[in-house]
Amino acid sequence: MRRYANTRRKLDKSGIRVYTTTYYPEIPLTDGDFFIRPVDGNRLDNLAFSYYGDSTLWWIIAKANGIRGKVVVSTDKILRIPGNIQQILQKFRTLNG
């Protein structure tokens, strides 16, 4: 799922098409979550592909762990991999639909 597929677009004052704000849902802790210790060089997109089969869902892992502005994850922190992605994606579509 492309992250901006559900984000609204509009024309700015000069007539250029721009995206509106993308809102991300809160991702509460659930029984279906996985916890991993990343190895050196792990990236969010590779982890998303490994767990979800879709590298574009990297933002779910980032949001669940409070990661901003990084793609490569640190090995000094245990990462939570949310297991309820269908609910998360539904909330995402509701916020941005």
Residue-number span of the structural domain to which 82 is assigned = 30-96
Q: Encode 65-82: b = buried (16+ Cβ within 10 Å), e = exposed.
A: bebeeeeebeeeeebbbb
Q: What is the pTM of this model?
A: 0.81
Confirm whether 75 is domain-assigned.
Answer: yes
Confirm whether 43 is domain-assigned.
Answer: yes
Q: CA–CA separation, 37 vs 75, rounded Å?
A: 7
Q: Total structural domains in the chain? A: 1
Q: What pLDDT is attached to residue 20?
A: 75
For the stretch 45-79, pLDDT in tens is: 999 999 999 999 999 999 999 999 888 998 999 99
Confirm whether 37 is domain-assigned.
Answer: yes
Other CB atoms within a 10 A radius of the CB of residue 53 amount to 8
Confirm whether 49 is domain-assigned.
Answer: yes
Q: What percent of the chain has pLDDT over 70?
A: 90
Rg (CA), the chain: 15
Confirm whether 7 is domain-assigned.
Answer: no
Confirm whether 18 is domain-assigned.
Answer: no
Which of 74, 81, 1 is CA-nearest to residue 47?
A: 81
